[in-house]
Amino acid sequence: MSAHRDWTAASGRPTRRSFLRGLAATALGLAALDRVPGLRDEVAAQPKSLTIMSWGWGYAEALKAQLIPRFSRDHGGASVTLEVGTNAANYAKLLAERSRPVISGGTFNFLYSYRGLADGLWEPFDPANVPNAKNLIHGSIMADTHGIIFGIQPYGIIYNPDRVDPPRSWLDLFNPKYKGKVGLSDGYFDGFGMTARALGHDVNDIAAGIKAWAQHKENIGPWPQSPAQAQDLVDKGELWLAWDFGGIAEGARDSGKNIRFVIPKEGATAVADIVQCIKGFDPATTRLTQQFLGSFVDDEAQLLWVKNVYDSPVSRTVKVPPDLAKRPGVLPPEKVARLLRPDFRYVSGNIALWKNLINQYLK
């Protein structure tokens, strides 16, 4: 007689013998839990769900359509709820909830990665939770902020091909024929750093770049407040050229915007997409969070970021699809490794200074 039939009996109700056997088995199982220190608590504490911060656009789409279902399948049905929004909005929520946190990890840019470090928000990753770490390009594991870079966007220049030829240098934007037609940024400062570098200064000398632009202030047109706005203005011809992110620009081009992206001869900076694990959770939730975020850098996920948000991959074993490999805004890993990386702790720690200089010299 099978154990199942012995337990249920023909009437569908347990017999006295099967009841006693089941009770004995249960007692043995509970005793086994007690013999392993902490095992009973660990089993009881296994998390069933995570709340993760994400940007919108293709990031949230890729997570909902592919990464979350895959993770749930591989981790006993664990669910992941996304808190979608900008870093500015969601970071304020993190600070407000830090005594009783709900969001256990998420996506951040360099600025908020360093802000979170200063505010003591981040939990270091356990390398065991990032299996593909060995294949990542140097610098992808951020020892200083405890973050992991899962994608890169080169920061260069977009232009309207019906209005201008592709600029060859960051200094081409000083040409008087572009009067009122160049879009700069007061939210990202990489363009000022690259202007400084083209003039022989260090890429971190943001002040030198701002002061150089003061000599060509008449070329500055409307100040875009987002990449999407910069792309719209260039597409419509209100601006002819603007600083922008390569991958986002390529996505806008594929959506129908009449823009092109170029990396000038002096090079481009690497703007990173970063995942961070947040402090304040039990060990099981932290481990599950890190396993989920660690999956962002496996090769399957890396291809998703390339295809969905035009990120350049950080895994050396990923091949960019041929149709995207032709685009200057999507780079293979070996070219990603050669992009310039400013001292982001220094740059992010002086944002008030850069904004004051921009207001003083350029507005």
- CATH homologous superfamily for 49-152+272-336? Periplasmic binding protein-like II (3.40.190.10)
pLDDT digits (tens, 9 = 90+) for 118-151: 999 999 999 999 999 999 999 999 999 999 999 9
In one-letter notation, the amino acid at residue 63 is: L
Go through 317-334 and write b for each residue having 16 or more CB atoms within 10 A of its CB, e for each that does not: ebebeeebeebbbbbbbe
The pLDDT of residue 35 is 53
Q: How many CB atoms lie within 10 A of CB 277?
A: 26
The pLDDT of residue 125 is 97
Tell me the torsion sign for CA atoms 171, 176, 182, 184. Answer: positive
Beta strands in the chain (DSSP E): 49-54, 79-84, 105-108, 122-123, 141-142, 147-159, 182-183, 241-245, 260-262, 269-278
Domains 49-152+272-336 and 153-270+351-361 share a fold: yes
The pLDDT of residue 46 is 59
Helix (H) or strand (E) holding 285: helix 283-294
pLDDT digits (tens, 9 = 90+) for 20-30: 344 344 444 44
C-alpha–C-alpha distance, residues 222 and 298, integer Å: 40
CB-based contacts of 269: which residues, under 8 Å, 6+ apart? 154, 155, 190, 193, 194, 203, 339, 340, 341, 342
Which token pair is 3? 């154990």
CB-based contacts of 45: which residues, under 8 Å, 6+ apart? 282, 283, 284
Q: Residue 302's beta-bridge partner residues? A: none
pLDDT along the chain (363 residues), means of 10: 30 40 43 48 63 93 96 95 92 92 96 93 97 95 95 98 98 98 96 98 98 98 95 98 97 97 98 97 96 98 96 97 96 97 90 96 97
Tell me the torsion sign for CA atoms 296, 64, 312, 225. Answer: negative
**Domain range annotation of the chain:** 3-43, 49-152+272-336, 153-270+351-361
Burial class (CB in 10 A: 0-12, 13-18, 19+), 223: middle
> Is residue 250 within 8 Å of residue 330, measured between CB atoms?
yes
CB-based contacts of 359: which residues, under 8 Å, 6+ apart? none
Query: Which class is domain 153-270+351-361?
Result: alpha beta
Query: What is the per-residue DSSP string for 185-251?
Result: -SS--HHHHHHHHHTTS-TT-HHHHHHHHHTTGGGB----SSHHHHHHHHHHTS-SEEEEEHHHHHH
In which residue are the tokens 């969070």 written?
Answer: 289
The pLDDT of residue 22 is 45
> Is residue 126 within 8 Å of residue 289, measured between CB atoms?
no
What is the C-alpha radius of gyration for the chain, rounded to an integer number of angstroms? 26
C-alpha–C-alpha distance, residues 81 and 43, integer Å: 22
C-alpha–C-alpha distance, residues 266 and 250, integer Å: 21
Whole-prediction pTM = 0.83
C-alpha–C-alpha distance, residues 223 and 363, integer Å: 10
